[in-house]
Structure 1
Amino acid sequence: MTRSLDTYRTLGRSGLRVSPLALGAMTFGADWGWGSERDEARQIFDAYLDRGGNFIDTANQYTNGTSERLVGEFANGLRDRLVIATKYTLATRPGDPNSGGNHRKSMVRSVETSLRRLNTDYIDLLYLHAWDGTTPVDEVMRAMDDLVRAGKVLYVGISDTPAWQVARMQTMADLRGWSPLVALQIEYSLIERTVERDLVPMAAELGMGVIPWSPLASGVLAGKYTRADLDHGGGSAEAVGTRKNVAAANGALSERGLAIADVVKKVAAEIGTTPSQVALAWTMHNPAVTAPIIGARTPAQLADNLGALDVRIPDDALAGLEEASAIELGFPHEFLARPMTRNVMFGDVKLETRT
């Protein structure tokens, strides 16, 4: 079966139709030192739409706000055919303790600012960007519901938050009749698979479409780096700098990451495609995944990434990728899967399970 950007998927438990690859706009604007200038960003945006793409991902502080402004400019005259997702949480004003975080004041002010930058009167999908560990969950969910009821936001989602907290929030929304979370944005790639322990199955069970960020692990899985690049000093906590700095800071540029990238390159050579396409196709192989985010910096990178829609990884190659990137699921998952545990639970009962 051939995929295409205009073969849409519903997002989580919602009826919203989105493309199977989302266009990440974090690279729109050169404010951080490694993004695309306006004209090149426009070429990327137009090329994505020309192929039928409709799912755009940005955030309130990507490239210091330039990303949202460019998305708003490019979407002029096309707004209603697009699904624009943005996020709140990141601090916007140094010295102001309430300019960031998950609380209502931060959320409302961020949304109002995003609406102005995006030059629109509604946001299709608003994510909480990262869990701050301080805001009560009922405050978050009620404030999100208020924005939906006001028509400023249509759907809500969450990103980079522990599974137990997300499950608690979704249950609260269901019990109180508030807008449910329909999307879970998380880091997910062949290098970062620990989300398979709890976050991915939780999303599938509770009606959230998984939206992987960094499916190419900051370019490591694209074959961009070699072991000579491991001499990076550990990376920096700053968001700005080089892409290599980002790859190092988030842990993707490591000996393990490069070993996995070697297997990706081998598979790509065997099936006649590129490493980027193999890595993206692998994420789409998981049925819980709705749309990985591609963060192309050039039109050529976008074209390469979109080629993943046509890639089918043979079973033996898929097994090799799984083996090279395998993680330990840990307790209780491994305990529950042990023959001894299953024997004492089920005895000689033959049970047909449904997926």
Structure 2
Amino acid sequence: MELDTYRLLGRSGLRVSPLSLGTMTFGTDWGWGADKDEARRIFDAYVDRGGNFIDTASQYTGGTAERLLGEFARARRERLVLATKYSMNRRPDDPNSGGNHRKSLVASVEESLRRLDTDFIDLLYVHVWDGTTPVEEVLRGLDDLVRAGKVLYLGISDTPAWQISRMQTISDLRGWAPLIALQVEYSLIERTTERDLIPMARELGLGVVPWSPLASGVLTGKYTRADLAHDGGTDNPEGTRRNVAAANGSLTERGLDIADVVRDVAAEMERTPSQVALAWTLLNPAVTAPIVGARTLGQLDDNLGALDVHFTDGHLADLDKASTIDLGFPHEFLARPMPRRVIFGDTRIENHA
């Protein structure tokens, strides 16, 4: 697999690369990103190898990420799929400058268009569910932007599965623009999205775009038990990457245990831990393109090597044993012999779905 071996994104004809370039590292505003020159080198290397799927958000590095991306993409805009998000608060003292409602949506998109220096956004995500805005308001606002030509496709991120399935159903029934992408945290450390979010996405036509497939860097092997003596992280992305990893729940004893297994498997395969962790997410048939967020050109080159990783059954078993989760009710219940006997009796059914 190569970056120019494209995949369809969800229930659409949009072609995207199998790894998406994340730009939360573009800019040093938060204290740990890439400066403009290094960000440019990362962007050029990704695009020159055929990559076309680039992810950003309205307030990544305080808006610097979108500004840099707009500058870098200007000469090659038409061949790129630019994805951004709205919902993040843009002014802490303004009650309507964040959230999912129409006023926040329109203002955020207009700002993103200016920073990205473009007439349209290829893919717009609801960044995070605010729990206060009616779904009809969100969906109709998004559809209006599609009809106006300012947005081409829609996605959603960090929202409960039941809410997304409800939204997709409403869109289908009313003839509004559907959701085609689901961005969620997914990695060997965070697999709870396998319970409902990922199966829902596969059933309803949303391509899964995992964020933090390296668990905030924990799966690269960069942290040790000594790093557990942190201050608990912060409530914002500024500071250090270690604090971000801790605040995100990745830098834990369990997380480091899983990282140890990834390191051992990588050593046996003569690969890097990052390549193994990224390649594992690509094995899930619902996953379209994990997001890689490199701070250096060297990190990007290493991450792209994940496209050429081939696992043995033994290595997959080791990774699964270290990271597996309980799917909970009703999934565990429905898989037990007694319920299946009651439902199917002696009937044997082949299900290739």
- The TM-score normalised by the length of structure 2 is 0.99
3-state SS of paired residue (1:155): strand
Partner of 1:118: 116
- Deviation string 1:236-272 (CA, Å, 9 cap, x unpaired) is 1122010000000011000000000000000000010
3-state SS of paired residue (2:285): coil
Equivalent of residue 51 in structure 2, options 49, 53, 64 = 53
Partner of 1:203: 201
- Deviation string 1:294-339 (CA, Å, 9 cap, x unpaired) is 0000000000000000111111100110110010000000000000
Partner of 2:184: 186
Partner of 1:174: 172
Amino acid at match of 2:130: D
How far, CA to CA, are the matches of 1:293 and 1:275 in structure 2?
Answer: 16
Equivalent of residue 230 in structure 1, options 216, 221, 228 = 228
TM-align CA RMSD: 0.5
How far, CA to CA, are the matches of 1:221 and 1:272 in structure 2?
Answer: 16
How far, CA to CA, are the matches of 1:306 and 1:206 in structure 2?
Answer: 29
Partner of 1:315: 313
Amino acid at match of 2:93: G
Amino acid at match of 2:84: T
Equivalent of residue 102 in structure 1, options 100, 103, 114 = 100
How far, CA to CA, are the matches of 1:350 and 1:27 in structure 2?
Answer: 51
For the 8 Å contact 2:20–2:290, the answer to whether it is kept is yes
Equivalent of residue 130 in structure 1, options 128, 133, 140 = 128
How far, CA to CA, are the matches of 1:352 and 1:305 in structure 2?
Answer: 37
3-state SS of paired residue (2:74): coil
How far, CA to CA, are the matches of 2:218 and 2:125 in structure 1?
Answer: 26
3-state SS of paired residue (2:130): coil
Partner of 1:157: 155
Partner of 1:341: 339
How far, CA to CA, are the matches of 2:296 and 2:350 in structure 1?
Answer: 49
1:218 to partner: Cα distance = 0.5
Counterpart mapping for 1:251-262 below 5 A: 251-262=249-260
How far, CA to CA, are the matches of 1:233 and 1:118 in structure 2?
Answer: 36
How far, CA to CA, are the matches of 2:246 and 2:351 in structure 1?
Answer: 42
Give the count of matched residue pairs: 353
Partner of 1:16: 14
1:68 to partner: Cα distance = 0.1
3-state SS of paired residue (2:82): strand
Amino acid at match of 1:106: S
Partner of 1:29: 27
How far, CA to CA, are the matches of 1:311 and 1:211 in structure 2?
Answer: 19
Equivalent of residue 244 in structure 1, options 230, 242, 245 = 242
Q: Does 1:292 align with 2:284?
A: no
Partner of 1:353: 351
- Structure 1 consecutive aligned stretches of length 4 or more whose deviation exceeds 2 Å: none
**Greater mean alpha carbon deviation, residues 228-237 or residues 5-14:** 228-237
1:151 to partner: Cα distance = 0.2
Q: Does 1:275 align with 2:279?
A: no
- The TM-score normalised by the length of structure 1 is 0.99
For the 8 Å contact 2:231–2:243, the answer to whether it is kept is no
How far, CA to CA, are the matches of 2:217 and 2:297 in structure 1?
Answer: 16
Amino acid at match of 1:321: L
3-state SS of paired residue (2:154): strand
**Identity among equivalent pairs (%):** 74
Partner of 1:73: 71
Partner of 2:302: 304
How far, CA to CA, are the matches of 1:350 and 1:321 in structure 2?
Answer: 31
For the 8 Å contact 2:208–2:287, the answer to whether it is kept is yes
Structure 1 unpaired stretches of 5+: none
How far, CA to CA, are the matches of 1:66 and 1:238 in structure 2?
Answer: 16
Amino acid at match of 2:220: A
Amino acid at match of 1:236: T
3-state SS of paired residue (1:15): coil
